[in-house]
Amino acid sequence: MKFTLGIEEEYQVICPKTRELISHDQLIVSEAAKILNEQVKAEMHQAVVEVGTNICNDITDARKELTHLRKSIADIADSLGFKIGAAGTHPFTKWETQLITPNPRYDEIINELQDTARSNLIFGLHVHVGIEDKQLALHLTNAMRYFLPHLYALSTNSPFWEGRNTGFKSFRSKVFDKFPRTGIPGIFQTVAEYEHYIDILIKTKCIDNPKKIWWDIRIHPFFPTLEVRICDVPMTIEETLSIAALIQALVAKLYKLRTQNLNFMLYHRALINENKWRASRYGLDGSMIDFGKECEVPTKDLMIELLEFVDDVVDELGSRKEIEHIKTMMKNGTGADRQLAVYNETKDLTKVVDYIIEQTVLGT
């Protein structure tokens, strides 16, 4: 089975003088579309640019694509007098000052969700793993739920919100939690059961299409992929690739267990949410619950266990280098840890933004 990859990242558009988020009036998207075609698009807020790789056969493909995308967007932004940054929230820009992209779809979302949508000034990473069989994708999604807090802890990169140190390693999910149909999903045993749920929502005008289900993991409504959506956008290319490689390895490992007639334990959403909260608050520095042992375990110890769990599929996937880099991430700290270190040293949030800008293009 081939577990193809697709990676989407959302970038901040930053004014080099004030270091605030700024509307680029879709100039970056218009210019980038000339070379990247459908791989770049506007988002609801005018200070956001979203990019997506093509379908990648493996992590080596993904590395080429993502490096090209970050470099292209950074160069185009520079040429137009902007900078780009990769972090889950901007350290001090206030959402009230930000312009919304004119678009009937966004108008409709704003009309329905009001300030929850207007204030949703956040930047995420979405990783797709290709799985043709929808029932299999659903089975793997159910099992993958357990690992979402681990992946989230590794990606934490949004400690500041509107000029405040929030005390969280990732405040992004706290902002997004205001939306309906977010967070850890429940368990669906069959595709028919899942589709019945979607049909009810459409029939009762909760949604007009299944893309308005914004869970932390979902079967993609239009592509044959399982999509992990819980992560903050990481600051560096290496961090994004390591997290994407770990997601791919987890899917491959859970599939391997299934082919051996072994199943991973399925846990209730309420339990997994306890770990998600801890990941959001403490990142890699706290403890999470080991549900099997029914005790707290340092998150870094659980990450090492996780790397051991997927170890037997990593070489088949060709992602040993990216998976090994996770140990470096644990040593050097996540984007949130590094943002906080810059702030503690300088007491200046503009210096934090400068650091984000510099790290975003590292390795391009």
Residue 85 DSSP class:
E
On average, the pLDDT of the chain sits at 96
Q: Which two tokens stand for residue 80?
A: 């137009």
Q: Measured between alpha carbons, how far is 18 from 352 in angstroms, rounded to an integer? A: 13
Domain ranges of the chain: 5-360
Q: Measured between alpha carbons, how far is 305 from 17 in angstroms, rounded to an integer? A: 45
CA–chain centroid gap for 322, Å, is 17
pLDDT digits (tens, 9 = 90+) for 27-84: 999 999 999 999 999 889 999 999 999 999 999 999 999 999 999 999 999 999 999 9
CATH architecture of 5-360: 2-Layer Sandwich (3.30)
Q: What is the mean pLDDT of residues 351-359?
A: 98
pLDDT digits (tens, 9 = 90+) for 318-347: 999 999 999 999 999 999 999 999 999 999
Q: Measured between alpha carbons, how far is 313 from 254 in angstroms, rounded to an integer? A: 10
Contact 3, 248 (CB under 8 A): yes
3-state SS, residue 108: helix
Q: Which two tokens stand for residue 135?
A: 């029932």
- Count other Cβ atoms within 10 Å, centred on residue 346: 13
Q: What is the mean pLDDT of residues 123-127?
A: 98
Contact 306, 275 (CB under 8 A): no
What integer pLDDT is reported at residue 263 of this predicted model? 85
What integer pLDDT is reported at residue 109 of this predicted model? 87
**Which residues contact residue 24 at a Cβ distance below 8 angstroms, ignoring those fewer than 6 apart?**
13, 46, 47, 49, 77, 80, 82
**Which residues contact residue 335 at a Cβ distance below 8 angstroms, ignoring those fewer than 6 apart?**
86, 87, 88, 155, 156, 157, 232, 234, 235, 236, 239, 356, 359
User: Helix axis angle, 299-317 relative to 320-332, nearest 10°?
Assistant: 160
What integer pLDDT is reported at residue 128 of this predicted model? 98
| pLDDT higher than 90, residue 106 | no
| pLDDT higher than 90, residue 104 | no
- Give the residue ranges of DSSP H helices in the chain: 27-36, 59-79, 104-113, 115-118, 134-144, 148-155, 172-176, 191-203, 237-259, 269-282, 299-317, 320-332, 335-346, 349-360
Provide the β-strand partners of residue 14: 21, 83
In the block, residue with structure tokens 């707290």 = 296
pLDDT digits (tens, 9 = 90+) for 181-232: 999 999 999 999 999 999 999 999 999 989 899 999 999 988 999 999 999 9
Contact 342, 165 (CB under 8 A): no
What integer pLDDT is reported at residue 197 of this predicted model? 96
pLDDT digits (tens, 9 = 90+) for 229-266: 999 999 999 999 999 999 999 999 999 999 999 988 89
pLDDT digits (tens, 9 = 90+) for 161-189: 999 999 999 999 999 999 999 999 999 99
Q: Which two tokens stand for residue 241?
A: 């690739």
What whole-number percentage of the chain has pLDDT above 90?
90
What integer pLDDT is reported at residue 165 of this predicted model? 98
| pLDDT higher than 90, residue 105 | no
Q: Which two tokens stand for residue 282?
A: 């403490």
